[in-house]
Amino acid sequence: MLRSVSKSYESGRGATLALDDVSLVVGRAQFVTIIGPSGCGKSTLLRIAAGLVRADSGEVSIFGEDPRVACANKHIGFVPQSPALLPWRTVLENVRLPLQVNRRATRGAPGDAGGLRDPADILAAFGLGEVLDKRPAQLSGGMQQRVAIARAFVFDPAVLLMDEPFSALDELTREVIRYELLDLWSTRRTTVLFVTHSVPEAVALSDAVVVMSPQPGRVSALVPVEIPRPRGELVELTEDFRAIERRVRLELRTAAGSGGRAPGRGEQ
Amino acid sequence: MTRAFRLDVWLPPVVALGVLVLAWQLVAVHEPAHAVATVPETFFELAHHPGLYWRSSVVTLQEIGVGLGASFVVAFALAVAMVHVEIVERALMPLAVALNVTPVIAYAPGLVLLLGFGIAPRYVVTAIVVFFPFLVNSLVGLRSVDASALDLLRTLHASRREVLWRLRLPSSLPYLFAAARICLPLSVVGAVVAEFTTSGSNAGLGSVISSANQQLDVPAIYAAIIVLAALGLVLTLVVVLLERRVLAWHPAGSRPR
């Protein structure tokens, strides 16, 4: 939950307001996507929620905890834009990493008995059972990003924060991996805050799409996605999907204003 | 055929070495003042005093090992402190730069006066010569971490020690091996310079050159130079092989194609 969050950055030309009075509530087990043109502060918003950046004003809470406390308790899973895999570790060792650091928090986690997952199992469920002992450099970009997602799920965090995790992938891989993510998510129903530039991705994944406007970043619309789950690739052919997609695009155009331009279909 | 037995791998350096030896012999034979030992004279000297060159090599190797090892430990520990406490870098980096730009030959006699004519000043001189490259490379290596991986560890509330061991140290390994490649030849220079200024007990290869020079024993000078070159080559080879093994995951650790 974010309430009246503002954040500005110092630059050569004075302070730039990145976020202005942003409020957002994400319910448990919800998948919420933030979309908006470049410079609308969506990544800043995610970094504030992850405790990586402090807001200048406003209130941020991860189910009652300050983000830094949530990090200390390992309640936040973070998937950055690049896979951020450690090249000297194998795939399995990379996925084990969250279990190896800050072990005190893992031991105390309520899900210790059944919540934590076997890294090898989660990798196998993600179609990576054959590459456990490979190093990241031996994998394709899509496989590396799958490993990064598996690493985020492995310690069963309360909230998953994903910062354009598919932006470096080709469109075909992107379409496949988004439904693999949905499959994995449906087994855990972790609360997810997902940042993307892609409208179809936002609609396919989410329970709600938050549209942000740029300079300064504000929430300009909240579009609910009332399409039944589970969703597969065919959902994108349905009229409901297309209607919501059209609405998100319309909201994006409004948010971008006369000087902005909304992303086209599949644009990253 | 494995790479080790491929002709195109071995032939070029062997031919280049052959040409060099031939040129050396031609210069030595035609040099009227006999200031250059011939190839047979040099190897005759080596064959007749193997004990002297072996013992001297061990002494020089010991100076290189202790100097290099101590320097690396201090430089890396200092780099870790600098990465975590900015004021340490601001305070000590100018001193390290001053130490680096001062010629080693200038302060070596002073170190001998301070530490005596034993082997201790040689360790110190060798350590000082390699200190700065180790410090700078350690510092750059410890800072050259993937920003996203650092973010990830921060969201997991990893401690500084965990970040150091799990991210910063492995990330810095390519830089540390690059430093080792630079520092090994430098340490040989440092050890020989130290021996020039501290000749006496525990004669190393530098001391052999120094005393042979005074006695105009030209073959002994060349024999010691050959042993020094071989020593440097073997040490470099050890580092390259170690690098390939440890940095198998990194482009620097892979063989050239």
Using DSSP's 3-state secondary structure scheme, residue A43 falls into helix
pLDDT score of A88 more than 90: yes
**Min Cα–Cα distance to chain B from A139, Å:** 13
pLDDT score of B207 more than 70: yes
Question: Using a CB-CB distance cutoff of 8 angstroms, which residues of chain B are in contact with residue A73?
Answer: 157
Find residue A224's DSSP bridge partners.
Answer: A208
| Mean pLDDT to the nearest integer, B50-70 | 94
Quick one: which of A193, A152, A158, A176 has its CA closest to A31? A193
CA-to-CA dists, residue A155 to A166, B122, B137, B156, angstroms: 21, 53, 35, 10
Contact criterion met (CB < 8 Å) for A84 and B146: yes
CA-to-CA dists, residue A108 to A70, A72, A77, angstroms: 13, 11, 16
- pLDDT score of A107: 52
| Mean pLDDT to the nearest integer, B211-219 | 89
Question: Using a CB-CB distance cutoff of 8 angstroms, which residues of chain A are in contact with residue B148?
Answer: 80-82, 84
B5 with B76, same domain: the answer is no
pLDDT band with cut points at 50, 70 and 90 for residue B1: low
B19 with B41, same domain: the answer is no
B12 with B83, same domain: the answer is no
- pLDDT score of B231: 93
User: For an interface test with B, which of A53, A88, A133, A193 has the most B Cβ atoms less than 10 Å from its Cβ?
Assistant: A88
Whether chain B has a CB inside 8 Å of the CB on A107: the answer is no
Q: What percent of chain B has pLDDT over 90?
A: 63
Whether chain B has a CB inside 8 Å of the CB on A128: the answer is no
pLDDT score of B256 more than 90: no
- pLDDT score of A79: 95
- pLDDT score of A267: 39
Question: Using a CB-CB distance cutoff of 8 angstroms, which residues of chain A are in contact with residue B166?
Answer: 86, 97, 100-101
| Mean pLDDT to the nearest integer, A226-238 | 89
pLDDT band with cut points at 50, 70 and 90 for residue B255: low
> Which residue do the tokens 């954040």 mark?
A7
B13 with B72, same domain: the answer is no
- pLDDT score of B253: 66
Contact criterion met (CB < 8 Å) for B166 and A72: no
Pick from A47, A102, A135: CB nearest B157: A102
Distance CA B168, CA B79 (A): 11
Q: Which of A117-126, A253-262, B83-92, B174-183 has the lowest mean pLDDT?
A: A253-262
Contact criterion met (CB < 8 Å) for B155 and A100: no
Q: Which of A108-112, A152-156, A236-240, B117-121 has the lowest mean pLDDT?
A: A108-112
**Min Cα–Cα distance to chain B from A101, Å:** 6
Residue type, B54: W
The answer to whether B214 touches B208, Cβ cutoff 8 Å, is: no
- pLDDT score of A246: 95
Please provide the DSSP assignment of chain B as one string: --GGG-HHHHHHHHHHHHHHHHHHHHHHHH-TT--S--HHHHHHHHHH-HHHHHHHHHHHHHHHHHHHHHHHHHHHHHHHHHHH-HHHHHHHHHHHHHHHHS-HHHHHHHHHHHH-SSSHHHHHHHHHHHHHHHHHHHHHHHH---HHHHHHHHHTT--HHHHIIIIIHHHHHHHHHHHHHHHHHHHHHHHHHHHHHS-SSS--HHHHHHHHHHTT-HHHHHHHHHHHHHHHHHHHHHHHHHHHHHTTTSGGGSPP-
B21 with B115, same domain: the answer is no
Taking only the tens place, the pLDDT of each residue in A194-206 is 999 999 999 999 9
Contact criterion met (CB < 8 Å) for B249 and A87: yes
Pick from A81, A98, A161: CB nearest B148: A81
pLDDT score of B200 more than 70: no
Contact criterion met (CB < 8 Å) for B153 and A137: no
pLDDT score of A71 more than 60: yes
Contact criterion met (CB < 8 Å) for A101 and B170: no
pLDDT band with cut points at 50, 70 and 90 for residue B254: low
Distance CA B247, CA A146 (A): 25
Whether chain B has a CB inside 8 Å of the CB on A17: the answer is no
- Whether the link from the prior residue into A67 is cis, omega within 30° of 0, is no
| Mean pLDDT to the nearest integer, A106-111 | 50
- pLDDT score of B120: 87
Using DSSP's 3-state secondary structure scheme, residue A47 falls into helix
Q: Which of A115-119, A140-144, B82-86, B118-122 has the lowest mean pLDDT?
A: A115-119
Tokens of B159: 């401690």
Closest alpha carbon within chain B to A53: B151
Quick one: which of A67, A74, A63, A69 has its CA closest to A50? A67
Average pLDDT, chain A: 87
Buried b (16+ CB within 10 A) or exposed e, A34-51: bbbbebbbbbbbbbbbbb
| Mean pLDDT to the nearest integer, B127-137 | 92
- pLDDT score of B4: 62
Contact criterion met (CB < 8 Å) for B155 and A82: no
| Mean pLDDT to the nearest integer, B184-203 | 81
Number of domains in chain B: 2
Whether chain B has a CB inside 8 Å of the CB on A188: the answer is no
- Whether the link from the prior residue into A224 is cis, omega within 30° of 0, is no
Distance CA A65, CA A50 (A): 12
B139 with B198, same domain: the answer is yes
| Mean pLDDT to the nearest integer, B60-79 | 95
Host domain of residue B178: 35-254
B2 with B112, same domain: the answer is no
Pick from A50, A86, A87: CB nearest B155: A50
Host H or E run for residue A243: helix A239-256
Distance CA A216, CA A221 (A): 15
- pLDDT score of B115: 84
B127 with B9, same domain: the answer is no
Host H or E run for residue A10: strand A2-11
Distance CA B190, CA B203 (A): 15
CA-to-CA dists, residue A18 to A21, A41, A265, B150, B231, angstroms: 10, 5, 26, 23, 60
B6 with B52, same domain: the answer is no
Q: What percent of chain A has pLDDT over 90?
A: 54
- pLDDT score of A202: 95
Quick one: which of A216, A220, A215 has its CA closest to A247? A220
B212 with B99, same domain: the answer is yes
Angle at B256 between CA B254 and CA B257, to 5 degrees: 115
- pLDDT score of B202: 63
Q: What percent of chain B has pLDDT over 70?
A: 94
- pLDDT score of A29: 92
- pLDDT score of A111: 43
CATH number at residue B44: 1.10.3720.10
B76 with B189, same domain: the answer is yes
| Mean pLDDT to the nearest integer, B20-39 | 88
- pLDDT score of B75: 95
- pLDDT score of A1: 80
Tell me how far apart the 2 most distant CA atoms of chain B are, in Å: 75
B21 with B103, same domain: the answer is no
Buried b (16+ CB within 10 A) or exposed e, B212-235: beeeebbbbbbbbbbbbeebbeeb
Contacts of A158 (CB under 8 A, 6+ apart): A62, A63, A70, A75, A76, A190, A191
The Cβ of residue A241 has, within 10 Å, a number of other Cβ atoms equal to: 18
**Min Cα–Cα distance to chain B from A50, Å:** 6
